[in-house]
């Protein structure tokens, strides 16, 4: 509610995304650990085993949320490259399947 109120005052649209797996997904390659229940996150550090990006886990999670929000709310379509766009679409559909229980 507070975010909606502040965004309205600033003329900015709020896009709500499902936060599931955002702390476990690499923002560079959108890879999630292949073993269920495991994560590349260890405390405040995220270290991707796929593309080998290392950094702050909160920074990584915030960027995953940013990518998801941008991919669903761009008036001219996603600014992501074709390959990354496919990964985001796959990621979103995978999250949808998890939420739906498939």
The rounded mean pLDDT for the chain is 77
Q: Are 30 and 84 in contact (CB under 8 A)?
A: yes
Residues near 54 by Cβ (< 8 Å), separated by ≥ 6? 45, 46, 47, 48
Instruction: Provide mean pLDDT across the span 33-48.
Output: 86
Query: Which of the four pLDDT bands, split at 50, 70 and 90, describes residue 94?
Result: low
Percent of the chain exceeding pLDDT 90 equals: 23
pLDDT number for residue 91: 58
Instruction: Provide mean pLDDT across the span 51-74.
Output: 87
Q: Which of 14 and 51 is assigned the larger pLDDT?
A: 51
Q: Are 88 and 30 in contact (CB under 8 A)?
A: yes
Q: Which of 81 and 57 is assigned the larger pLDDT?
A: 57
């Amino acid at each position: 509610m507070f975010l909606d109120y502040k965004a309205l005052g600033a003329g900015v649209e709020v896009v709500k995304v499902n936060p599931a797996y955002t702390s476990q997904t690499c923002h560079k390659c959108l890879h999630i650990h292949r073993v269920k229940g495991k994560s590349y996150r260890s405390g405040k550090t995220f270290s991707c085993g796929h593309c080998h990006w290392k950094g702050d886990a909160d920074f990584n999670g915030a960027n995953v949320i940013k990518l998801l929000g941008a991919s669903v709310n761009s008036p001219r379509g996603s600014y992501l490259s074709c390959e990354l766009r496919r990964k985001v679409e796959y990621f979103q559909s995978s999250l949808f399947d998890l939420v739906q229980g498939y």
